[in-house]
């Protein structure tokens, strides 16, 4: 499962991530590097960001309206979190305080994926689903689940007045004079209700929303525990039948294997945000369950990733949004796609939504799910091993933790595995080590032979006994470290993208281009004519 997630993301990014320069006006008198730097510098407006970043004061960074610049500013997160929690700890409370700049902890890195208004999430009319239109509806659901992983349904039989009532009650809950966090965490045998505005003890950006979660732990849902709209189970019986048929299975198949056994109700409240371009209500994710049924109000903000574009799920009166989850993708062996989606913060609102996540059987009766045999033809390989929900969830959460690197630095995966053992399939995988001892005497022929082989096969090798004292090597590494660890002010005199200089220090070079940033800062000292200009070198490194 982990594998597909990574490659899926990286493919998406890869498509737009690698734009190469073409240099048609070749002037042989100029060095390639210099020409390229000039082209970059003038061609892309992102050079402005570099200038802003270099010359910014801490205050400029902290108040910039640019998410890249603001996101690079340092801040005392612990203090911000404390202040937020001391001040009642809800985003609604924060929004109501009249602030014009959002706290730094809410700043999310910008997405490198563009938005599209040309594409439209499918809308499927379920009217007459039990009669002559059923075949047509099943086909539409099948196509939408295979290509989008998300669609809206209308005429599913739930009265619009009930939908409004549900959203109103969510709004009322969140707008209570004082929502007491502790008293909301009630626990009885059947239901756990948990009110939260997020987890702040991680380095990840905080989300611009408050959330109420109701979990029905043992799978036995007491209708009295549920808001009225959920008592109709959001029409999930209808959908379960239609989805089963869309897969060519009998209509009770998904119900029989208990895909939708345990619902979890999540009620979100997204207050209006003074800087909506800097934050997110829900960051990019897929739902790690079988299916989600979502009711949203008319504010908008939900977006789904499709063909490498963010596409808005336009609010439609009386519609429910159906979202295929990871486990559905797993049992259909990738036929149905789990939708990657996010919720953008809005300047207006509040926005209110209620989602029902459909899980399989509860924790105390674990059940394993793998690609369904019924869906595998003799030539199909199951793409996933069997897993149970808890195991999958743990994996999903761990993966979420990994991805807190700003989008600017995310590189597409090359898909090449790393050989962690020295032997792979019986072949020795170790970079050659060549001992230079005796290179001027009897060992010379042997050494030359080893170098020739290593150069042909590997293109890289270690040298030992090369005559450079280890104290010199240590000193060099130490000076590199010391140079980089100096305060910004000490390094700024070397900061340059003019590759004509003999010594230059730079970082974030891709702000000039379109490829992802490297996780490094770089000091370059060029001695083209073999003449080392000591004065040009930073003192620490001489
Ligand atoms: O509020 C929404 O529109 C979507 C929320 C969501 O994606 C989630 O809770 O997983
Ligand atoms: Fe979601």
Is the confidence at residue 229, as pLDDT, over 80?
Answer: no
DSSP state of 340: P
Ligand 1 centroid to Cα of residue 471, in Å, is 57
* Ligand 1 atom closest to Cα of residue 287: 10
User: What's the CA-to-centroid distance between 209 and ligand 2, angstroms?
Assistant: 13
The chain-wide mean pLDDT, for the chain, equals: 77
**Residue 364, CA distances (Å) to 186, 233, 369, 389 in order:** 20, 22, 16, 11
What's the gap in Å between 301 CA and the centre of ligand 1?
10
Residue 135: DSSP 8-state: H
Centre of ligand 2 to C-alpha 74, Å, is: 30
Please tell me which of 1-5, 186-190, 501-505 the model is most confident about, judged by mean pLDDT: 501-505
CA 177 – ligand 1 centroid, Å: 25
Q: Rounded CA gap, 166 and 229, in Å?
A: 6
More confident residue, 136 or 109: 136
Contact 353, 302 (CB under 8 A): yes
Residue 79 tokens read as 């203090």
d(CA 317, CA 508): 46
Q: Which atom of ligand 1 is nearest to the CA of 266?
A: 9
Q: Which ligand is nearest to the CA of 302?
A: 1
Find the range with the poorest average confidence among 266-280, 346-360, 420-434: 420-434
Best probe residue, ligand 1, of 208, 353, 358 (max atoms within 8 Å of C-beta):
353
Query: What is the helix (H) or strand (E) element at residue 3, kind and residue range?
Result: helix 2-17
d(CA 507, CA 523): 9
Mean of pLDDT values over 313-342: 95
Give 527 or 490, the one with higher predicted confidence.
490
Top-ranked range on mean pLDDT: pick from 16-20, 411-415, 476-480: 476-480
Among 91-95, 97-101, 327-331, 356-360, the least confident range: 356-360
Please determine, for residue 59, whether its predicted confidence score (pLDDT) is greater than 50.
yes
Q: Which H/E stretch holds residue 481?
A: helix 470-484
Q: Categorize the per-residue pLDDT at 214 as very low, low, confident or very high, splitting at 50, 70 and 90.
A: confident
The 3-state secondary structure of 120-149 reads: CCCEEECCCCCCCCHHHHHHHHHHHHHHCC
Atom of ligand 1 nearest to the CA of 321: 3
Alpha helices per DSSP H over 289-353: 326-331
Q: Which string of b and e fits 246-256 if b means at least 16 CB within 10 Å? A: bbebebebbbe
The CA distances from residue 199 to 90, 203, 271, 401, in Å, are 12, 10, 18, 12
Farthest-apart Cα atoms in the chain, separation:
94
Q: What's the token pair of residue 439? A: 């290179």
Question: Which residues have CB under 6 Å of ligand 1?
Answer: 266, 268, 282, 287, 294, 296, 302, 341, 343, 353, 355
Substitution candidate for ligand 1 out of 213, 313, 355, 357 with most atoms within 8 A of CB: 355
Lowest mean pLDDT: which of 65-74, 221-230, 423-432, 461-470?
221-230
Which region among 99-113, 137-151, 387-401, 500-514 has the lowest average model confidence (pLDDT)?
500-514
What pLDDT, on a 0 to 100 scale, did the predictor assign at position 195? 59
Residues 101/70, Cβ–Cβ less than 8 Å: no
- Cα separation of 433 and 450, whole Å? 9
Rounded to whole angstroms, the Cα distance separating 288 from 186 reads 25
The enclosing H or E element of 422 equals: none
Average pLDDT over residues 367-375: 91
Domains assigned to the chain: 1-76 (no CATH), 116-362+383-404 (2.60.120.330), 423-541 (no CATH)
Q: How many CA atoms does the CB half-sphere of 323 hold within 13 Å?
A: 27
Please report the pLDDT score of residue 54 as a whole number: 60
Q: Which of 171, 292, 295, 400 to mutate to test the pocket of ligand 1 (most atoms within 8 A of CB)?
A: 292
- Predicted confidence (pLDDT) at residue 371 exceeds the cutoff of 50: yes
* Residue 200: per-residue pLDDT: 65
CA of 426 to the centre of ligand 2 (A): 45
User: Quick one: pLDDT band at residue 525, thresholds 50, 70, 90?
Assistant: confident
Phi, psi of 126, rounded to the nearest 5 degrees: -90, 5
Dump pLDDT digits (tens) for 469-523.
999 899 889 988 888 888 877 887 787 766 667 777 776 654 444 566 677 788 8
Q: Among 340-354, 370-384, 504-518, 522-536, where is mean pLDDT lowest?
A: 504-518
Stated pTM of the model:
0.66
Q: What is the ipTM of this complex?
A: 0.99
């Amino acid at each position: 499962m982990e594998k597909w997630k990574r490659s899926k993301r990286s493919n998406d990014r890869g498509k737009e991530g690698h734009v190469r320069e073409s240099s048609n006006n070749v002037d042989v008198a100029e060095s390639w590097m210099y020409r390229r730097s000039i082209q970059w510098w003038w061609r892309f407006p992102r050079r402005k960001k570099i200038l802003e970043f270099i010359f910014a004061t801490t205050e400029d960074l902290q108040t910039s309206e640019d998410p890249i610049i603001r996101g690079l500013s340092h801040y005392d997160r612990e203090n911000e979190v404390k202040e937020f929690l001391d001040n009642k700890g809800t985003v609604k409370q924060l929004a109501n305080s009249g602030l014009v700049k959002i706290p730094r902890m809410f700043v999310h890195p910008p997405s490198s994926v563009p938005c599209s208004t040309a594409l439209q999430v499918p809308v499927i009319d379920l009217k007459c689903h039990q009669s002559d239109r059923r075949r047509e509806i099943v086909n539409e659901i099948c196509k939408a689940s295979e290509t989008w992983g998300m669609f809206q349904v209308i005429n599913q039989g739930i009265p619009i007045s009930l939908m409004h009532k549900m959203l109103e009650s969510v709004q009322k809950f969140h707008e209570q004079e004082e929502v007491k966090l502790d008293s909301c965490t009630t626990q009885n045998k059947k239901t756990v209700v948990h009110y939260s505005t997020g987890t702040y003890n991680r380095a990840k950006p905080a989300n611009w929303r408050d959330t109420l979660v109701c979990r029905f732990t043992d799978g036995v849902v007491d209708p009295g525990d549920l808001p009225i709209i959920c008592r109709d189970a959001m029409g999930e019986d209808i959908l379960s039948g239609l989805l089963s048929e869309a897969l060519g299975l009998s209509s009770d198949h998904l119900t029989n294997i208990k895909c939708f056994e345990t619902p979890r109700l999540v009620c979100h409240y997204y207050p209006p945000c003074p800087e909506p371009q800097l934050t997110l209500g829900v960051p990019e994710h897929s739902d790690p369950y079988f299916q989600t049924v979502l009711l949203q109000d008319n504010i908008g903000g939900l977006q789904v990733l499709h063909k490498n574009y963010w596409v808005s799920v336009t609010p439609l009166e009386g519609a429910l949004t159906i979202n295929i989850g990871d486990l559905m993708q797993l049992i259909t062996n990738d036929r149905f796609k789990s939708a990657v989606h996010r919720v953008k913060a809005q300047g207006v609102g509040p926005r209110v939504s209620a989602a029902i996540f459909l899980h399989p059987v509860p924790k105390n009766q674990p059940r394993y799910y793998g690609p369904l045999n019924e869906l595998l033809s003799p030539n199909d390989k199951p793409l996933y091993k069997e897993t149970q929900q808890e195991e999958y969830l743990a994996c999903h959460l761990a993966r979420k933790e990994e991805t807190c690197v700003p989008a600017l630095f995310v590189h597409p995966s090359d898909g090449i595995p790393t050989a962690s053992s020295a032997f792979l399939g019986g072949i020795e995988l170790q970079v050659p080590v060549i001992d230079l001892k005796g290179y001027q005497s009897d060992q010379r022929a042997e050494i030359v032979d080893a170098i020739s082989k290593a150069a042909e096969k590997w293109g890289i090798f270690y040298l030992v006994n090369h005559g450079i004292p280890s104290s010199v090597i240590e000193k060099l590494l130490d000076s590199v470290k010391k140079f980089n660890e100096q305060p910004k002010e000490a390094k700024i005199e070397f900061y340059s993208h003019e590759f004509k200089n003999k010594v230059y220090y730079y970082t974030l070079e891709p702000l000039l281009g379109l490829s992802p940033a490297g996780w490094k800062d770089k000091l370059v000292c060029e001695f083209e004519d073999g003449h080392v200009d000591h004065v040009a070198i930073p003192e620490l490194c001489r």
